[in-house]
């Protein structure tokens, strides 16, 4: 992917293209090519900018939530898993400048590299266009994926319902794992009294369990599952 395609996805054109290049440059590439600039400093800045934007977002969306639940939701939205998923959705890995070793070992799909690069892009956009610009595309991402106030509480919510009705907790089971080691997709089912009530997929077990719990809650709400 070319840099202008990233700009199209972000709906922002960098005035200083060198900032975007730096955001996409991993230290392994810099070491091999003796470059002075790579993305770790921008990653540091982007982490703080992201935290502020997300805090503002969850404060508005979760206007009835207490501090502890707001903090939990924010933690999810700035996590490595969330950022890596975002980076994969926009195919950021294709544009990264990686050293030969990192490239050969699957670095373009590695969550740690992708999440760091996503933070670096946010930091670069902040320096180039200011807070308003970076807030716009972060807020758009959050609204597009439909994050709500219970995004981190699907498992807790389901457990409360099942425990109350059946006096036993729901059981989660990994039923399928596909993909290479650096880019696996997990499929998880959630069962109550040996009956499957939901299924979900994710890039790790935790994410898949959350989606399985969400599916189960929807099935209960829609009357597809009787408990």
Q: Which residues are catalytic?
A: 47, 119
Whether the Cβ atoms of residue 5 and residue 75 lie closer than 8 Å to each other: no
Asked if 103 contacts 137 with a C-beta cutoff of 8 angstroms, the reply is no
Residue 13 phi, psi dihedral angles, 5° rounding: -105, 120
Burial class (CB in 10 A: 0-12, 13-18, 19+), 208: buried
Among 26, 54, 53, 51, CA closest to 41: 26
Of 140, 134, 112, residue with least CA distance to 45: 134
> End-to-end alpha-carbon separation of the chain, Å?
48
Give the other-Cβ count within 10 Å of 64's Cβ: 7
Give the list of residues 6+ apart from residue 29 with CB closer than 8 angstroms, or none: 35, 38, 97, 98, 99, 102
Pairwise CA distance, residues 191 & 166, whole Å: 12
């Amino acid at each position: 992917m070319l840099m202008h395609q990233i700009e199209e996805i972000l709906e922002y054109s960098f005035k200083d293209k060198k900032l975007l290049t730096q955001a996409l440059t991993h230290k392994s590439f810099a070491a091999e090519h003796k470059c002075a600039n790579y993305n770790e400093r921008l990653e540091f800045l982007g982490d703080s900018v992201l935290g502020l934007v997300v805090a503002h977002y969850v404060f508005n969306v979760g206007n009835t939530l207490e501090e502890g639940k707001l903090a939990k939701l924010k933690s999810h939205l700035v996590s490595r898993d969330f950022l890596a998923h975002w980076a994969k959705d926009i195919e950021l890995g294709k544009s990264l400048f990686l050293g030969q070793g990192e490239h050969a070992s699957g670095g373009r799909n590695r969550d740690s590299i992708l999440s760091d690069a996503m933070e670096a892009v946010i930091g670069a956009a902040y320096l180039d266009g200011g807070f308003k610009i970076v807030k716009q595309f972060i807020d758009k991402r959050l609204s597009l994926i439909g994050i709500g106030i219970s995004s981190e509480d699907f498992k807790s919510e389901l457990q409360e319902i099942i425990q109350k009705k059946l006096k036993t907790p729901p059981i989660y089971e990994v039923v399928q794992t596909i993909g290479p080691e650096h880019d696996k997709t997990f499929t998880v089912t959630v069962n109550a009294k040996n009956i499957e009530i939901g299924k979900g997929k994710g890039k790790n077990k935790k994410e898949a369990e959350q989606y399985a719990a969400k599916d189960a809650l929807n099935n209960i709400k829609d009357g597809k599952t009787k408990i």
